[in-house]
Amino acid sequence: MIAPSIEYSALLPMIIVFGAGVVGVLVEAFVPRRFRHAVQVILALAALAAAFVQVVRLGGTEIIGAVGSVAIDGPALFLQGTVLVLAFISMFFFAERRIEAGGNAFAPAASSLPGSEEERVLVQQRALQTEIYPLSMLAVGGMMLFPAANDLLAMFVALEVLSLPLYILCGMARRRRLLSQEAAMKYFLLGAFASGFFIFGASFVYGFAGSLEFAEIDAALGARVGQEGLLLAGVGMMAVGLLFKIGAVPFHAWTPDVYQGAPTQVTAFMAACTKLAAFGAMMRLFYVGLGGIRTDWQPMLWAVAIATMVVGIVVALSQTDIKRMLAYSSIAHGGFILTAFVAVDELAIAAILFYLAAYGFVTLGAFAVVTLVRDAGGEATHLSKWAGLGRRSPLLAATFGLFLLALAGIPLTSGFVGKLTVFTAAFQGGAMPLVIVGVLVSAVAAFFYVRVIVLMFFSDPAPEGPTVAVPSVWTTAGIAVGAVATIVLGVLPGPLLDLAEQAALFIR
Protein backbone atom coordinates (compact mmCIF):
# COMPACT_ATOMS: atom_id res chain seq x y z
CA MET A 1 0.00 0.00 0.00
CA ILE A 2 1.41 3.35 -1.05
CA ALA A 3 1.08 6.20 1.37
CA PRO A 4 -1.13 8.92 -0.10
CA SER A 5 0.65 12.00 -1.34
CA ILE A 6 -0.28 15.31 0.17
CA GLU A 7 0.13 18.56 -1.76
CA TYR A 8 1.66 20.48 1.10
CA SER A 9 2.26 23.75 -0.70
CA ALA A 10 -1.37 24.03 -1.80
CA LEU A 11 -2.55 23.24 1.69
CA LEU A 12 0.06 25.42 3.34
CA PRO A 13 -2.27 28.35 4.10
CA MET A 14 -4.54 26.08 6.10
CA ILE A 15 -1.61 24.32 7.70
CA ILE A 16 -0.19 27.65 8.83
CA VAL A 17 -3.44 28.77 10.39
CA PHE A 18 -4.21 25.46 12.07
CA GLY A 19 -0.61 25.31 13.22
CA ALA A 20 -0.94 28.74 14.74
CA GLY A 21 -4.02 27.51 16.56
CA VAL A 22 -2.12 24.58 18.02
CA VAL A 23 0.88 26.72 18.92
CA GLY A 24 -1.56 29.15 20.48
CA VAL A 25 -2.77 26.42 22.82
CA LEU A 26 0.84 25.74 23.81
CA VAL A 27 1.38 29.44 24.39
CA GLU A 28 -1.55 29.34 26.79
CA ALA A 29 0.11 26.53 28.66
CA PHE A 30 3.70 27.70 28.78
CA VAL A 31 4.11 31.42 28.22
CA PRO A 32 3.89 33.56 31.37
CA ARG A 33 0.61 35.35 31.77
CA ARG A 34 2.09 38.80 31.32
CA PHE A 35 3.39 38.14 27.84
CA ARG A 36 0.59 35.93 26.68
CA HIS A 37 -1.59 38.56 25.13
CA ALA A 38 1.17 40.13 23.09
CA VAL A 39 2.48 36.76 21.97
CA GLN A 40 -0.95 35.54 20.96
CA VAL A 41 -1.80 38.65 19.00
CA ILE A 42 1.51 38.61 17.17
CA LEU A 43 1.20 34.90 16.50
CA ALA A 44 -2.31 35.22 15.13
CA LEU A 45 -1.54 38.21 12.94
CA ALA A 46 1.68 36.69 11.66
CA ALA A 47 -0.01 33.41 10.83
CA LEU A 48 -2.87 35.10 9.01
CA ALA A 49 -0.47 37.31 7.09
CA ALA A 50 1.78 34.40 6.18
CA ALA A 51 -1.18 32.31 5.08
CA PHE A 52 -2.43 35.20 2.99
CA VAL A 53 0.93 35.56 1.30
CA GLN A 54 0.86 31.88 0.46
CA VAL A 55 -2.71 32.15 -0.88
CA VAL A 56 -1.57 34.97 -3.14
CA ARG A 57 1.38 32.93 -4.32
CA LEU A 58 -0.94 30.05 -5.09
CA GLY A 59 -3.03 32.30 -7.37
CA GLY A 60 -4.04 30.36 -10.46
CA THR A 61 -3.49 26.98 -8.87
CA GLU A 62 -6.03 24.36 -9.76
CA ILE A 63 -5.49 21.05 -8.09
CA ILE A 64 -7.50 18.53 -6.21
CA GLY A 65 -5.33 17.49 -3.33
CA ALA A 66 -5.25 15.46 -0.15
CA VAL A 67 -6.49 12.32 -1.90
CA GLY A 68 -9.41 14.02 -3.52
CA SER A 69 -10.79 15.65 -0.43
CA VAL A 70 -9.61 19.22 -0.91
CA ALA A 71 -9.87 21.33 -4.05
CA ILE A 72 -7.63 24.34 -4.35
CA ASP A 73 -9.03 26.41 -7.20
CA GLY A 74 -10.16 29.93 -7.99
CA PRO A 75 -13.19 30.17 -5.69
CA ALA A 76 -11.39 28.38 -2.87
CA LEU A 77 -8.37 30.68 -3.04
CA PHE A 78 -10.50 33.79 -3.42
CA LEU A 79 -12.57 32.89 -0.38
CA GLN A 80 -9.56 31.78 1.64
CA GLY A 81 -7.82 35.04 0.89
CA THR A 82 -10.91 37.01 1.82
CA VAL A 83 -11.42 35.07 5.03
CA LEU A 84 -7.80 35.72 5.94
CA VAL A 85 -8.08 39.44 5.34
CA LEU A 86 -11.35 39.69 7.26
CA ALA A 87 -9.98 37.57 10.10
CA PHE A 88 -6.89 39.77 10.17
CA ILE A 89 -9.08 42.81 10.75
CA SER A 90 -11.17 40.89 13.28
CA MET A 91 -8.02 40.23 15.28
CA PHE A 92 -7.59 44.00 15.52
CA PHE A 93 -10.95 44.20 17.23
CA PHE A 94 -10.14 41.24 19.48
CA ALA A 95 -6.94 42.96 20.54
CA GLU A 96 -8.69 46.16 21.57
CA ARG A 97 -7.98 46.84 25.23
CA ARG A 98 -8.60 50.48 25.78
CA ILE A 99 -12.39 50.40 25.77
CA GLU A 100 -12.58 48.09 28.76
CA ALA A 101 -9.79 49.84 30.62
CA GLY A 102 -7.10 47.24 30.15
CA GLY A 103 -9.33 44.24 29.67
CA ASN A 104 -10.57 42.99 26.35
CA ALA A 105 -14.13 42.30 25.36
CA PHE A 106 -14.07 38.80 26.77
CA ALA A 107 -14.76 37.33 30.16
CA PRO A 108 -11.48 36.87 32.09
CA ALA A 109 -12.31 33.20 32.52
CA ALA A 110 -15.21 31.76 30.62
CA SER A 111 -15.62 28.99 33.16
CA SER A 112 -16.09 31.26 36.14
CA LEU A 113 -19.72 31.49 37.14
CA PRO A 114 -21.28 34.81 36.18
CA GLY A 115 -21.57 36.95 39.26
CA SER A 116 -19.35 34.70 41.35
CA GLU A 117 -16.56 35.74 43.66
CA GLU A 118 -14.07 34.12 41.34
CA GLU A 119 -15.18 36.29 38.48
CA ARG A 120 -14.96 39.40 40.62
CA VAL A 121 -11.41 38.59 41.66
CA LEU A 122 -10.36 37.89 38.10
CA VAL A 123 -11.82 41.16 36.91
CA GLN A 124 -10.04 42.94 39.70
CA GLN A 125 -6.76 41.33 38.76
CA ARG A 126 -7.38 42.43 35.20
CA ALA A 127 -6.93 38.90 34.02
CA LEU A 128 -6.93 38.74 30.25
CA GLN A 129 -8.70 36.16 28.18
CA THR A 130 -6.24 35.05 25.54
CA GLU A 131 -7.69 31.70 24.57
CA ILE A 132 -9.81 33.52 22.02
CA TYR A 133 -6.83 33.68 19.67
CA PRO A 134 -6.17 29.96 19.28
CA LEU A 135 -9.92 29.40 19.15
CA SER A 136 -10.38 31.91 16.40
CA MET A 137 -7.39 30.49 14.52
CA LEU A 138 -9.04 27.09 14.54
CA ALA A 139 -12.30 28.65 13.37
CA VAL A 140 -10.47 30.48 10.57
CA GLY A 141 -8.82 27.23 9.55
CA GLY A 142 -12.22 25.59 9.36
CA MET A 143 -13.55 28.49 7.35
CA MET A 144 -10.67 28.08 4.89
CA LEU A 145 -11.27 24.37 4.56
CA PHE A 146 -15.03 24.68 4.21
CA PRO A 147 -15.13 26.25 0.73
CA ALA A 148 -12.22 24.07 -0.39
CA ALA A 149 -13.70 20.79 0.80
CA ASN A 150 -14.16 18.51 -2.16
CA ASP A 151 -15.88 15.61 -0.51
CA LEU A 152 -18.72 15.31 1.92
CA LEU A 153 -16.60 14.17 4.82
CA ALA A 154 -14.04 16.96 4.52
CA MET A 155 -16.91 19.36 4.28
CA PHE A 156 -18.49 18.03 7.44
CA VAL A 157 -15.19 18.12 9.29
CA ALA A 158 -14.65 21.71 8.17
CA LEU A 159 -18.17 22.57 9.25
CA GLU A 160 -17.52 21.26 12.72
CA VAL A 161 -14.04 22.72 12.97
CA LEU A 162 -15.31 26.17 12.14
CA SER A 163 -18.44 25.88 14.26
CA LEU A 164 -17.19 24.52 17.56
CA PRO A 165 -14.76 27.35 18.34
CA LEU A 166 -17.45 29.84 17.37
CA TYR A 167 -19.91 28.30 19.83
CA ILE A 168 -17.36 28.84 22.57
CA LEU A 169 -16.39 32.32 21.45
CA CYS A 170 -20.04 33.33 21.53
CA GLY A 171 -20.31 32.52 25.21
CA MET A 172 -17.32 34.58 26.27
CA ALA A 173 -18.70 38.08 26.52
CA ARG A 174 -17.31 40.15 29.34
CA ARG A 175 -20.59 41.91 30.03
CA ARG A 176 -24.10 40.46 30.15
CA ARG A 177 -22.59 37.05 30.51
CA LEU A 178 -25.81 35.13 30.97
CA LEU A 179 -27.12 36.54 27.72
CA SER A 180 -23.88 35.57 26.08
CA GLN A 181 -23.95 32.07 27.50
CA GLU A 182 -27.54 31.64 26.49
CA ALA A 183 -26.56 32.67 22.98
CA ALA A 184 -23.72 30.17 22.94
CA MET A 185 -25.96 27.41 24.24
CA LYS A 186 -28.62 28.17 21.66
CA TYR A 187 -26.09 28.38 18.88
CA PHE A 188 -24.52 25.13 19.95
CA LEU A 189 -27.74 23.18 20.25
CA LEU A 190 -29.21 24.44 17.02
CA GLY A 191 -25.86 24.21 15.29
CA ALA A 192 -25.46 20.62 16.42
CA PHE A 193 -28.95 19.96 15.14
CA ALA A 194 -28.02 21.43 11.77
CA SER A 195 -24.73 19.53 11.62
CA GLY A 196 -26.70 16.40 12.36
CA PHE A 197 -28.91 17.12 9.39
CA PHE A 198 -25.89 17.68 7.22
CA ILE A 199 -24.16 14.45 8.11
CA PHE A 200 -27.42 12.54 7.88
CA GLY A 201 -28.00 13.94 4.43
CA ALA A 202 -24.41 13.26 3.46
CA SER A 203 -24.85 9.62 4.39
CA PHE A 204 -27.95 9.43 2.20
CA VAL A 205 -26.08 10.94 -0.70
CA TYR A 206 -23.26 8.50 -0.07
CA GLY A 207 -25.83 5.76 -0.07
CA PHE A 208 -26.98 6.94 -3.45
CA ALA A 209 -23.67 7.62 -5.11
CA GLY A 210 -21.42 5.16 -3.35
CA SER A 211 -18.81 7.85 -3.02
CA LEU A 212 -18.16 10.92 -0.95
CA GLU A 213 -16.27 12.82 -3.64
CA PHE A 214 -18.17 15.51 -5.48
CA ALA A 215 -16.92 14.49 -8.90
CA GLU A 216 -18.12 10.95 -8.39
CA ILE A 217 -21.42 12.06 -6.97
CA ASP A 218 -21.82 14.17 -10.08
CA ALA A 219 -21.01 11.17 -12.24
CA ALA A 220 -23.51 9.04 -10.36
CA LEU A 221 -26.33 11.54 -10.87
CA GLY A 222 -26.97 10.52 -14.42
CA ALA A 223 -26.01 6.89 -14.02
CA ARG A 224 -28.21 5.62 -11.24
CA VAL A 225 -31.90 5.27 -11.65
CA GLY A 226 -34.44 4.30 -9.06
CA GLN A 227 -32.89 5.81 -5.96
CA GLU A 228 -33.70 9.46 -6.48
CA GLY A 229 -35.59 9.44 -3.21
CA LEU A 230 -32.42 8.73 -1.30
CA LEU A 231 -30.56 11.38 -3.25
CA LEU A 232 -33.17 14.09 -2.88
CA ALA A 233 -33.69 13.42 0.81
CA GLY A 234 -29.94 13.67 1.26
CA VAL A 235 -29.70 16.90 -0.73
CA GLY A 236 -32.54 18.40 1.24
CA MET A 237 -30.98 17.57 4.56
CA MET A 238 -27.54 18.81 3.58
CA ALA A 239 -29.14 22.00 2.35
CA VAL A 240 -30.71 22.42 5.80
CA GLY A 241 -27.29 22.13 7.42
CA LEU A 242 -25.69 24.67 5.10
CA LEU A 243 -28.61 27.08 5.03
CA PHE A 244 -28.49 27.08 8.80
CA LYS A 245 -24.94 28.37 8.72
CA ILE A 246 -25.94 31.03 6.23
CA GLY A 247 -28.88 31.96 8.37
CA ALA A 248 -31.50 31.52 5.66
CA VAL A 249 -35.17 31.45 6.55
CA PRO A 250 -36.60 29.19 8.01
CA PHE A 251 -33.27 28.17 9.56
CA HIS A 252 -32.45 31.65 10.78
CA ALA A 253 -33.97 31.63 14.24
CA TRP A 254 -30.60 31.44 15.97
CA THR A 255 -29.15 34.48 14.23
CA PRO A 256 -30.69 37.38 16.17
CA ASP A 257 -30.11 35.89 19.60
CA VAL A 258 -26.59 34.80 18.84
CA TYR A 259 -25.59 38.02 17.14
CA GLN A 260 -27.00 39.94 20.06
CA GLY A 261 -25.61 37.81 22.84
CA ALA A 262 -22.12 37.16 21.50
CA PRO A 263 -19.33 39.62 22.19
CA THR A 264 -19.73 42.16 19.40
CA GLN A 265 -16.21 41.54 18.13
CA VAL A 266 -17.08 37.88 17.72
CA THR A 267 -20.37 38.79 16.08
CA ALA A 268 -18.46 40.86 13.57
CA PHE A 269 -16.02 38.06 12.84
CA MET A 270 -18.76 35.49 12.64
CA ALA A 271 -21.12 37.54 10.51
CA ALA A 272 -18.44 38.37 7.98
CA CYS A 273 -16.55 35.10 7.78
CA THR A 274 -19.05 32.32 8.47
CA LYS A 275 -21.39 33.49 5.76
CA LEU A 276 -18.49 33.63 3.36
CA ALA A 277 -17.27 30.14 4.14
CA ALA A 278 -20.75 28.66 4.13
CA PHE A 279 -21.63 30.16 0.77
CA GLY A 280 -18.34 28.91 -0.63
CA ALA A 281 -19.07 25.40 0.57
CA MET A 282 -22.61 25.57 -0.64
CA MET A 283 -21.49 26.66 -4.10
CA ARG A 284 -19.01 23.84 -4.37
CA LEU A 285 -21.44 21.22 -3.13
CA PHE A 286 -24.36 22.35 -5.23
CA TYR A 287 -22.47 23.39 -8.35
CA VAL A 288 -19.79 20.74 -8.53
CA GLY A 289 -21.42 17.82 -6.80
CA LEU A 290 -25.08 18.38 -7.46
CA GLY A 291 -25.09 20.61 -10.53
CA GLY A 292 -26.61 17.78 -12.53
CA ILE A 293 -29.87 17.89 -10.63
CA ARG A 294 -30.14 21.64 -10.38
CA THR A 295 -33.73 21.56 -11.58
CA ASP A 296 -34.55 19.57 -8.48
CA TRP A 297 -32.96 21.88 -5.93
CA GLN A 298 -33.52 25.21 -7.62
CA PRO A 299 -37.23 25.45 -6.65
CA MET A 300 -36.35 24.82 -3.03
CA LEU A 301 -33.72 27.55 -3.06
CA TRP A 302 -36.08 29.91 -4.86
CA ALA A 303 -38.53 29.57 -2.02
CA VAL A 304 -35.79 29.93 0.57
CA ALA A 305 -34.34 33.00 -1.16
CA ILE A 306 -37.67 34.78 -1.27
CA ALA A 307 -38.55 33.88 2.31
CA THR A 308 -35.10 34.94 3.48
CA MET A 309 -35.17 38.33 1.84
CA VAL A 310 -38.71 39.15 2.85
CA VAL A 311 -38.61 37.85 6.41
CA GLY A 312 -35.16 39.29 7.03
CA ILE A 313 -36.11 42.79 6.00
CA VAL A 314 -39.62 42.87 7.36
CA VAL A 315 -38.50 41.69 10.77
CA ALA A 316 -35.49 43.98 10.71
CA LEU A 317 -37.92 46.87 10.43
CA SER A 318 -39.38 46.11 13.82
CA GLN A 319 -36.10 45.77 15.70
CA THR A 320 -35.11 48.30 18.27
CA ASP A 321 -31.74 46.82 19.09
CA ILE A 322 -28.92 47.66 16.76
CA LYS A 323 -27.29 44.25 16.93
CA ARG A 324 -30.53 42.44 16.29
CA MET A 325 -31.23 44.79 13.44
CA LEU A 326 -27.88 44.02 11.88
CA ALA A 327 -28.55 40.34 12.45
CA TYR A 328 -31.77 40.44 10.50
CA SER A 329 -30.10 42.52 7.88
CA SER A 330 -27.45 39.84 7.54
CA ILE A 331 -30.23 37.32 7.05
CA ALA A 332 -31.67 39.42 4.27
CA HIS A 333 -28.26 39.79 2.65
CA GLY A 334 -27.99 36.03 2.64
CA GLY A 335 -31.23 36.08 0.68
CA PHE A 336 -29.80 38.54 -1.83
CA ILE A 337 -26.84 36.27 -2.40
CA LEU A 338 -29.16 33.29 -2.81
CA THR A 339 -30.88 35.03 -5.70
CA ALA A 340 -27.64 34.81 -7.65
CA PHE A 341 -26.96 31.35 -6.27
CA VAL A 342 -29.84 29.81 -8.15
CA ALA A 343 -28.43 31.09 -11.43
CA VAL A 344 -25.60 28.52 -11.44
CA ASP A 345 -23.12 30.03 -13.83
CA GLU A 346 -19.76 31.75 -13.77
CA LEU A 347 -21.33 35.17 -13.66
CA ALA A 348 -23.20 34.11 -10.55
CA ILE A 349 -20.08 32.74 -8.93
CA ALA A 350 -18.17 35.94 -9.60
CA ALA A 351 -21.08 38.01 -8.30
CA ILE A 352 -21.35 35.98 -5.12
CA LEU A 353 -17.61 36.12 -4.51
CA PHE A 354 -17.58 39.87 -4.87
CA TYR A 355 -20.68 40.32 -2.76
CA LEU A 356 -19.27 38.21 0.04
CA ALA A 357 -16.04 40.18 0.14
CA ALA A 358 -17.80 43.53 -0.01
CA TYR A 359 -20.35 42.52 2.59
CA GLY A 360 -17.61 41.19 4.89
CA PHE A 361 -15.86 44.53 5.16
CA VAL A 362 -19.08 46.43 5.72
CA THR A 363 -20.27 44.05 8.41
CA LEU A 364 -16.96 44.08 10.25
CA GLY A 365 -16.94 47.83 10.27
CA ALA A 366 -20.55 48.20 11.31
CA PHE A 367 -20.26 45.88 14.28
CA ALA A 368 -16.97 47.45 15.28
CA VAL A 369 -18.70 50.81 15.48
CA VAL A 370 -21.31 49.22 17.74
CA THR A 371 -18.56 48.30 20.20
CA LEU A 372 -17.71 51.96 20.67
CA VAL A 373 -21.11 53.35 21.62
CA ARG A 374 -21.29 52.62 25.31
CA ASP A 375 -22.93 53.47 28.55
CA ALA A 376 -22.41 52.29 32.09
CA GLY A 377 -23.62 48.76 31.33
CA GLY A 378 -21.32 48.20 28.37
CA GLU A 379 -22.41 48.64 24.80
CA ALA A 380 -25.55 50.69 24.37
CA THR A 381 -27.27 48.73 21.67
CA HIS A 382 -30.80 50.01 22.06
CA LEU A 383 -31.61 52.12 19.04
CA SER A 384 -33.15 54.91 21.10
CA LYS A 385 -29.77 55.47 22.68
CA TRP A 386 -28.25 56.17 19.30
CA ALA A 387 -30.44 59.21 18.83
CA GLY A 388 -28.42 62.29 18.08
CA LEU A 389 -25.16 60.41 17.88
CA GLY A 390 -24.30 62.53 14.86
CA ARG A 391 -24.21 65.58 17.09
CA ARG A 392 -21.99 63.98 19.70
CA SER A 393 -19.58 62.21 17.49
CA PRO A 394 -20.03 63.22 13.87
CA LEU A 395 -17.15 61.20 12.51
CA LEU A 396 -18.24 57.93 14.09
CA ALA A 397 -21.85 58.47 13.11
CA ALA A 398 -20.81 59.32 9.56
CA THR A 399 -18.75 56.15 9.36
CA PHE A 400 -21.65 54.10 10.62
CA GLY A 401 -23.88 55.92 8.16
CA LEU A 402 -21.52 54.91 5.39
CA PHE A 403 -21.76 51.26 6.40
CA LEU A 404 -25.54 51.51 6.55
CA LEU A 405 -25.66 53.07 3.10
CA ALA A 406 -23.50 50.26 1.83
CA LEU A 407 -25.84 47.71 3.41
CA ALA A 408 -28.73 49.52 1.75
CA GLY A 409 -26.94 49.31 -1.57
CA ILE A 410 -26.60 53.02 -2.28
CA PRO A 411 -24.30 53.86 -5.20
CA LEU A 412 -20.64 54.61 -4.70
CA THR A 413 -20.51 52.09 -1.88
CA SER A 414 -19.46 48.49 -2.26
CA GLY A 415 -22.98 47.37 -1.39
CA PHE A 416 -24.35 48.85 -4.58
CA VAL A 417 -21.87 47.13 -6.86
CA GLY A 418 -22.48 43.89 -5.00
CA LYS A 419 -26.22 44.13 -5.36
CA LEU A 420 -25.95 45.14 -8.97
CA THR A 421 -23.79 42.17 -9.90
CA VAL A 422 -25.86 39.74 -7.89
CA PHE A 423 -29.16 40.84 -9.33
CA THR A 424 -27.74 40.95 -12.84
CA ALA A 425 -26.49 37.40 -12.44
CA ALA A 426 -29.83 36.28 -11.08
CA PHE A 427 -31.64 37.94 -13.91
CA GLN A 428 -29.47 36.38 -16.56
CA GLY A 429 -29.97 33.06 -14.85
CA GLY A 430 -33.69 33.44 -15.42
CA ALA A 431 -34.64 34.25 -11.86
CA MET A 432 -36.66 37.31 -12.78
CA PRO A 433 -39.22 36.94 -9.93
CA LEU A 434 -36.38 36.72 -7.44
CA VAL A 435 -34.90 39.91 -8.80
CA ILE A 436 -38.22 41.69 -8.54
CA VAL A 437 -38.65 40.60 -4.94
CA GLY A 438 -35.03 41.53 -4.29
CA VAL A 439 -35.44 45.02 -5.67
CA LEU A 440 -38.67 45.62 -3.78
CA VAL A 441 -37.15 44.33 -0.60
CA SER A 442 -34.13 46.54 -1.16
CA ALA A 443 -36.43 49.53 -1.18
CA VAL A 444 -37.84 48.57 2.20
CA ALA A 445 -34.32 47.83 3.41
CA ALA A 446 -33.15 51.26 2.37
CA PHE A 447 -35.93 52.68 4.46
CA PHE A 448 -34.87 51.03 7.67
CA TYR A 449 -31.18 51.68 7.23
CA VAL A 450 -32.01 55.29 6.58
CA ARG A 451 -34.18 55.34 9.66
CA VAL A 452 -31.08 54.78 11.70
CA ILE A 453 -29.26 57.53 9.84
CA VAL A 454 -32.18 59.85 10.51
CA LEU A 455 -32.06 58.87 14.13
CA MET A 456 -28.36 59.57 14.40
CA PHE A 457 -28.29 62.86 12.56
CA PHE A 458 -31.68 64.49 12.79
CA SER A 459 -32.86 63.53 16.27
CA ASP A 460 -32.01 65.29 19.47
CA PRO A 461 -29.59 63.39 21.67
CA ALA A 462 -31.10 61.69 24.69
CA PRO A 463 -30.10 63.49 27.89
CA GLU A 464 -28.45 60.43 29.43
CA GLY A 465 -27.25 59.04 26.19
CA PRO A 466 -24.24 56.82 25.72
CA THR A 467 -20.73 58.03 25.37
CA VAL A 468 -18.52 57.18 22.48
CA ALA A 469 -15.49 55.33 23.74
CA VAL A 470 -12.15 56.38 22.40
CA PRO A 471 -10.64 53.20 21.05
CA SER A 472 -7.01 52.33 20.70
CA VAL A 473 -5.32 52.27 17.35
CA TRP A 474 -6.47 48.65 16.84
CA THR A 475 -10.17 49.32 16.51
CA THR A 476 -9.57 52.62 14.79
CA ALA A 477 -7.45 50.94 12.16
CA GLY A 478 -9.96 48.14 11.71
CA ILE A 479 -12.89 50.48 11.20
CA ALA A 480 -10.81 52.64 8.89
CA VAL A 481 -9.93 49.64 6.74
CA GLY A 482 -13.60 48.68 6.59
CA ALA A 483 -14.66 52.17 5.60
CA VAL A 484 -11.94 52.57 2.99
CA ALA A 485 -12.74 49.16 1.52
CA THR A 486 -16.42 50.08 1.38
CA ILE A 487 -15.72 53.24 -0.58
CA VAL A 488 -12.96 51.85 -2.77
CA LEU A 489 -15.01 48.80 -3.72
CA GLY A 490 -17.88 51.15 -4.49
CA VAL A 491 -15.96 53.66 -6.56
CA LEU A 492 -13.34 51.44 -8.15
CA PRO A 493 -14.63 47.90 -7.96
CA GLY A 494 -12.92 46.94 -11.19
CA PRO A 495 -9.87 45.10 -9.87
CA LEU A 496 -11.76 42.98 -7.37
CA LEU A 497 -14.51 42.25 -9.87
CA ASP A 498 -11.88 41.12 -12.36
CA LEU A 499 -10.29 38.94 -9.74
CA ALA A 500 -13.63 37.41 -8.82
CA GLU A 501 -14.35 36.79 -12.46
CA GLN A 502 -11.02 35.09 -13.01
CA ALA A 503 -11.56 33.02 -9.91
CA ALA A 504 -15.05 31.97 -10.83
CA LEU A 505 -14.30 28.50 -12.07
CA PHE A 506 -14.65 25.42 -9.93
CA ILE A 507 -12.28 22.61 -10.64
CA ARG A 508 -14.04 19.29 -10.97
Partner 1 sequence: MILAVVLLALVVTAVAAPAIASRLGRNAGYPLAVAFLLIGALLATRAPDVLDGGTVSLNWEWMPSIGVSFHLHLDGLSLLFASLVLGVGALILAYCPRYLGTSEQHQRLYMLLTLFAMSMLGLVLARDLVLLFVFWELTTLASFLLIGGAGRTAVQPAARALVVTAGGGLALLAAAVLLSISAGTTNMSVIMADPSVVIESPLAPAIAVLLIIAAITKSAQLPFHFWLPDAMVAITPVSAYLHAATLVKGGIYLLMRFSPTFAHMTMWTVVLMVIGLTTMIVGAAFALKQHDLKSLLAYSTVSQLGFIIALIGVGTPGALAAAALHTFAHAMFKATLFMLAGIIDREAGSRDIRELGGLRRVMPVTATLTGLAATSMAGIPPFIGFISKEEAYSALLETPGPAWTGWLAALATVAGAGLTFAYGFRIFYGAFAGPTTQRKLYEPSMTFLLPAAIPAALGLVLGLTVGVLDPLISRTVEDTMLTESHAKLSLWHGFGSPLVLSALTIITGMALFFGRYPVDRALHRHRVPLTGADAFNHTVSGSIQLGSWIGLPARSHAIGAHIAWPLAALLVLGATGIAMRPDVAEPPLSTTRPHDWAVVALLAIAILALCLTTTRITAIVLLGAVGFLVGFWFLLAGAPDLALTQLLVEILTVVVAVLVLRRLPPTFRRIRRPRAILTAAIAVAAGTVAAAATFLLAGRRDRSAAADYLIHNAKKDSGGSNVVNTVLVDFRGLDTLGEVTVLAIAGIGLMALLRGTAEPNILPADSATAPPDRLGNMVIPRFAARVLVPMTVAISAYLLFRGHYEPGGGFIAALVAGVAVAVLQLPHGLDHPPRLRAPYLIYGGLALAVLTGIGGLADGSFLRPLHGHLGIGGAEISMTSSLSFDLGVFLIVLGMAVSAFDRLGRGTTGELPAREPELARNGQGGS
State which residue, 123 or 190, has the beta carbon closest to partner 1.
190
In the complex, minimum distance from the CB of residue 112 to partner 1, in angstroms, rounded to a whole number = 7
Q: How many CB atoms neighbour CB 190 within 10 A?
A: 17
CA 390 to CA 370: how far, in whole Å?
Answer: 14
In the complex, minimum distance from the CB of residue 488 to partner 1, in angstroms, rounded to a whole number = 13
Phi, psi of 278 (to 5 degrees): -65, -40
In the complex, minimum distance from the CB of residue 210 to partner 1, in angstroms, rounded to a whole number = 8
From residue 153, alpha-carbon distances to 63, 92, 202, 206, 234 in Å are 18, 33, 8, 10, 14
Handedness of CA 201, 206, 209, 214 (dihedral sign): positive
State which residue, 84 or 110, has the beta carbon closest to partner 1.
110
In the complex, minimum distance from the CB of residue 474 to partner 1, in angstroms, rounded to a whole number = 26
CA 370 to CA 381: how far, in whole Å?
Answer: 7
Characterize the bridge pairing of strands 373-375 and 378-379. antiparallel
State which residue, 106 or 197, has the beta carbon closest to partner 1.
197
Contact 96, 470 (CB under 8 A): no
- Beta bridge partner(s), residue 213: 151
DSSP state of 71: E
In the complex, minimum distance from the CB of residue 162 to partner 1, in angstroms, rounded to a whole number = 17
State which residue, 136 or 180, has the beta carbon closest to partner 1.
180
In the complex, minimum distance from the CB of residue 91 to partner 1, in angstroms, rounded to a whole number = 26
CA 117 to CA 135: how far, in whole Å?
Answer: 26
In the complex, minimum distance from the CB of residue 70 to partner 1, in angstroms, rounded to a whole number = 19
Contact 339, 435 (CB under 8 A): yes
State which residue, 41 or 322, has the beta carbon closest to partner 1.
322
State which residue, 252 or 284, has the beta carbon closest to partner 1.
252
- Angle CA 295–299–304, to nearest 5: 140
State which residue, 215 or 450, has the beta carbon closest to partner 1.
450
Helices (H), 58-151: 74-94, 117-124, 132-148
- For the chain, report the end-to-end CA distance as a whole number of angstroms: 26
State which residue, 176 or 374, has the beta carbon closest to partner 1.
176
In the complex, minimum distance from the CB of residue 286 to partner 1, in angstroms, rounded to a whole number = 16
DSSP state of 387: T
